[in-house]
Amino acid sequence: MLKKILIIRHIEIEGPGTFGRFLEEKKVPYQILDVHKYDPNELSSLGLDDVCGIIVLGGPMNVYEEDKYPFLEPEKILIKRALEINIPMIGICLGGQLIATCLGAVVRRAPIKEIGWFDVLFEDSAKDDALLKGLGPGTKVFQWHEDTFDLPSGAVILVKSNGMNQAFRSGSAVWGFQFHIEVDDEIIKSWYDEYVKGGPCVPSYPDTSAGYQAIAEDFQAKAKRVYAAFLNETKRDRPF
């Protein structure tokens, strides 16, 4: 049976972006699971036998808002099942926070709200990490969050900045990223239109689109290296 990548999406506007396009280019089968549309009573018991890897995307909700977003609790149950059976998994922003929560860590308000482009620093542990090796010692990443995660017990911190954990690895093949690697100029503009114009969010970087244009080539190259490395973790017999 040909296994697939499961992509968990929380809101239409925050899709897989360049990660999804990379999967398509490599002809890797994937399924987008729109948890916000799913019956919460069925979500937690979905079958995972045909899943070789999971990508948990971002969203404007907080991990502790189960009353407002009833899909969050069964989604956490689904993630915990995936952790128990050792499915390689990567969480981006909200996705990273959800994985951290499922591993027993606390998710709380960040000391600063990061919206825009920020420099992050790689820890020494990132030098040997399957996804991040060779990308440091620092880089500029795109952020859009108001919460942050504590480091789960037994996990390895990989990236930090602004007094916050920005990336960790749990076990050999589970990662939580606070920052976004899947964005391109179109996605950034759509978030600005949805979340900023007429809303409460103010980008820390004055022109998020200009910030992308300045580093697009380097940013995309690094993102693709992360994507390829993650796929190699899910299908070791078929390098990408």
83-132 confidence digits (pLDDT tens): 999 999 999 999 999 999 999 999 999 999 998 889 999 999 999 999 99
36 catalytic residue (yes or no): no
Count of Cβ atoms closer than 10 Å to residue 200 Cβ:
7
Full-model pTM: 0.93
Give the distance from CA 146 to its chain's centroid.
15
In DSSP terms, 180 is beta-bridged to: 142
Q: Which of 173, 152, 175, 148 is nearest to 92 (CA)?
A: 175
186 catalytic residue (yes or no): no
Please state, in angstroms and rounded to a whole number, the distance separating the CA atoms of residues 156 and 233: 17
Residue 218 to residues 19, 144, 162, 206, 221, Cα–Cα distance (Å): 15, 20, 22, 20, 5
Question: Which of 52, 93, 114, 233 is labelled catalytic?
Answer: 93
Question: Which of 14, 75, 182, 233 is labelled catalytic?
Answer: 182
The full set of domains in the chain, from first to last, is 4-234 (3.40.50.880)
Please state, in angstroms and rounded to a whole number, the distance separating the CA atoms of residues 95 and 136: 23
147-187 confidence digits (pLDDT tens): 999 999 999 999 999 999 999 999 999 999 999 999 998 99
18-61 confidence digits (pLDDT tens): 999 999 999 999 999 999 998 888 888 899 999 999 999 999 99
